[in-house]
Amino acid sequence: MLRANYILKLLEKNERIDGRKLDEFRQINIEKNIIEKAEGSARVKIGKTDVIAGIKMEIETPFPDTPNEGMLKTNAEFAPIAHPDFLPGPPSEDATELARVVDRGIRESNSIDLEKLCLVEGQKVWGVFIDIHIINHDGNLIDASSLASLIALMNTRIPKYEDEKIIRGEYIGKLPMLHTPINVTVSKILDKYVVDLTKEEEDVLDAWLSVAVREDGYICSMQKGGAKGLNVKNIDEMINLAAKKSKELRKLL
């Protein structure tokens, strides 16, 4: 609690406990294709937050309303290795929200050309499964997981499919990508806007807004969280900051 008060005291002076500026990310470290068994993968570290996204591709029956489109499914697991608060068991509410926010950023921006993933209309399509594994949680899981998922997708190869069988390890080409949405979560603490919160900063936040920004400037998904409200001016300023930071993060792709 003392530390929480200290964090707030520093923020009043536009300072942070680790010396960063309010709109400054921690060091971001990206590793691509770290998992040979996966069709695509990436590990993203933002400071001490460590996230792995793995892509598996499977043959699926398409949804009846999109018979000629591949499928996208995102799952997130807060493995108990990552934080003392994470317990074994079915996905928690927060893990479910994380998966859905990451999923929407990618889905709603039409990142993947799903029509190119149809094998037999109405019968057989490629399913793209994004699985997010949190290795260490020190805040900002949404941005880290979104970035890891996007980079993993950009490095995903489609396996060979022959005689009704997936030939793992042999590939016919890259996953067709159309767009690259970057997710930036801006938090409001007191009257300050702060990005890339550590876990202990998250514990004192008032509200957050996660914004997925596409390369053409379109906003493709938003999610508000936190126990306090935001006014229109807050939202506008938070989107501005997210858009600005998304340009910086995009350089890492």
Partner 1 sequence: MAKIKGIELIKDGKRLDGRKPLQIRDVEMKVGIIPNANGSAMVRFGKTIAVAAVYGPRLLLPKHLQEGDKAIIQCRYNMAPFSTDDRVKPGSSRREIEISKVIRQAFEPVLFLENYPKTTIDIYIEIIQADGSTRVTSINAASLALADAGVPMKDLVVALSGGKINGTLILDLNGLEDNNSEADMPMAFTANKKEITLLQMDGELKQEEIKKLMTEMFKAGEEIYKMQIKALKDRYSE
What residues make contact with partner 1 under the rule CB under 8 A? 64-66, 91, 93-94, 96-97, 99-100, 104, 107-109, 209, 214, 217-232, 234-236, 239-240, 243
Residue 214 CA to residue 249 CA, distance in Å, equals 12
State how far the Cα of 10 lies from the Cα of 12, in Å rounded to an integer: 5
33 or 66: whose CB is closer to partner 1?
Answer: 66
Classify 149 as helix, strand or coil. Answer: helix
Residue 71 pairs in a beta bridge with: 127
Q: Which is nearer to partner 1, 145 or 158 (CB)?
A: 145
Nearest distance, CB of residue 201 and partner 1, angstroms: 19
CB of 149 to partner 1, least distance (A): 16
Nearer CB in complex with partner 1: 176/226: 226
Q: Which tokens is 169 given?
A: 């390890």
Residues 193, 197, 199, 201: what is their CA dihedral angle, to the nearest 10 degrees? -30
Residue 65 amino acid letter = D
Instruction: Report, in Å, the least distance between residue 218 CB and partner 1.
Output: 5
> What is the C-alpha separation between 242 and 184, in angstroms, rounded?
5
C-alpha distances (whole Å) from 207 to each of 24, 192, 194, 225 are 18, 11, 11, 6
Residue 6 or residue 218: which is nearer to partner 1 going by CB? 218
What sign results for the dihedral spanned by CA atoms 20, 25, 31, 37?
positive
Token pair recorded at residue 88:
């074994």
CB of 36: closest distance to partner 1 in angstroms?
A: 29
Residue type, 186: V
At closest approach, how far in Å is the CB of 64 from partner 1? 7
For residue 209, count other CB atoms closer than 10 A to its CB.
23
Question: Whole-number minimum distance, CB 153 to partner 1, in Å?
Answer: 18
CB-wise, 144 or 222, nearer to partner 1?
A: 222
Q: State in angstroms the smallest separation of the CB of 100 from partner 1.
A: 5
Phi, psi of 26 (to 5 degrees): -75, 175
- Rounded to whole angstroms, the Cα distance separating 241 from 208 reads 12
Nearer to partner 1, 23 or 97 (CB): 97
- Closer to partner 1 by CB, 173 or 217: give it: 217
